[in-house]
Amino acid sequence: MSTPTANAAMSDAQKSAHIRQTVLQAGVALRERHPWLRHQDAIGGSVMALSVLGMIASGVLYGIGQIPWWVCVPVSALFASFIHELEHDLIHTMYFRQSPRAWNLMMALCWLTRPSTVSPWARKRLHLHHHKFSGTDTDLEEYGITNGEPWGLKRLLMVGDHMLAIYLRPVGMHRVSRNYIRAQQPKSKEEFRALVRENLLSYMPLGLLHYALWHGFLAANALLFAASLAGHPLPLAAWSQAIGVDLPALLSLWTTTVVVWLAPNVLRVFCLHFISSNMHYYGDVEPGNVMQQTQVLNPWWLWPMQLFCFNFGGTHAIHHFAVKEPFYVRQATAQTAYGVMREMGVRFNDFGTFTRANRWAMKTGAKVAPAGAVTTA
């Protein structure tokens, strides 16, 4: 074990390398004890199959009246959280590296089951860029989920809704999108235009369908509730006869679609983005310094949210140091990782990030703090 004096003499790059080596060694030891973990393709495919079937079963049980919506939504969100982890690992080509068809099928299932997200193929470029430039003004992935925004009603509305995160910050989204595209260093105008198109169309078609149905559902039900509250309920049956469309049946189908497909992802996205945007630092991070990119955010009171993002706050910082370990290995070796991360000075539960708009420096306007500083704010 390193001494505090030795740690102080190490650069952040050396600390990151030491953490990475220790985490990877823990993964090797885990696979030696459990050789079945070496079959990553089979594990990834099995988790995908079980998660998709779990979401389908939950939806069917709701559809036939065997479970209420308040059971279906969190159960489906839980299965969707596994699929999110699979997409993240697929982006880093941890499964089916030698089988493009299987890899693309897995990516397609990730999007079909989680329609509120950008295309996973577009997200691959965004996410790999995030690792290279995490927390900087070109990190569109983190800015897109509200990282760096002061906390208030505006951020609360945006954190679980990708479209509101765009609509409520058009100038900022344009600026960071432009920075991100320029950071790709397009070699020609055509390549630049292709990157612009990729960004503009990244929610087509599933994301736009999701938000059209979700926002429309909220608006329709708000209208029905307001009319009923005012003592003038809308005559849906009469309108149905007039236009030849069974509006109550249509609304029932719409509700079922929301419960089994849309609402689980709204819940999952809110929990994931709340955790992710607060365990990543943003705005004053030294480019390429992994020690400043993330913290471990795992207090007991965040466990209801951690449940719907597979303990993201507890394990994602490990991923920034050892990128190629799949999500289940990161979880299994987390205690070993925590030991070396604490030793090297990675922050744990820096709650001051909520008041600093996720800045690394401990005080607004202060110089960047040295890696390893911990706050109890």
- Condensed to tens digits (0 to 9), the pLDDT of residues 248-304 reads 999 999 999 999 999 999 999 999 999 999 999 999 999 999 999 999 999 999 999
Which positions ≥6 away from 269 have C-beta within 8 Å?
A: 116, 117, 160, 161, 162
pLDDT at 212 over 50: yes
pLDDT at position 2, please?
56
The band of 365, judged by pLDDT with boundaries at 50, 70 and 90, is low
**What average pLDDT does this structure show over 205-230?**
96
**What average pLDDT does this structure show over 221-249?**
90
* pTM for the model: 0.92
Average pLDDT taken over every residue of the chain: 93
pLDDT at position 4, please?
55
Nearest Cα to 38, choosing from 46, 25, 51, 27?
27
- Condensed to tens digits (0 to 9), the pLDDT of residues 83-133 reads 999 999 999 999 999 999 999 999 999 999 999 999 999 999 999 999 999
The band of 330, judged by pLDDT with boundaries at 50, 70 and 90, is very high
pLDDT at position 300, please?
96
What CA dihedral angle connects 319, 345, 363 and 316, to 10 degrees? 10
- The fraction of the chain above a pLDDT of 70, given in percent, is 94
Contact present, 372 and 344 (Cβ < 8 Å): yes
**What average pLDDT does this structure show over 24-31?**
98
pLDDT at 371 over 70: no
pLDDT at 375 over 50: no
- DSSP for 197-216 reads HHHHTTTTTHHHHHHHHHHH
Contact present, 49 and 364 (Cβ < 8 Å): no
- Condensed to tens digits (0 to 9), the pLDDT of residues 166-203 reads 999 999 999 999 999 999 999 999 999 999 999 999 99
pLDDT at position 239, please?
86
pLDDT at 135 over 90: yes
Tally of helices (H runs) and strands (E runs) in the chain: 19, 0
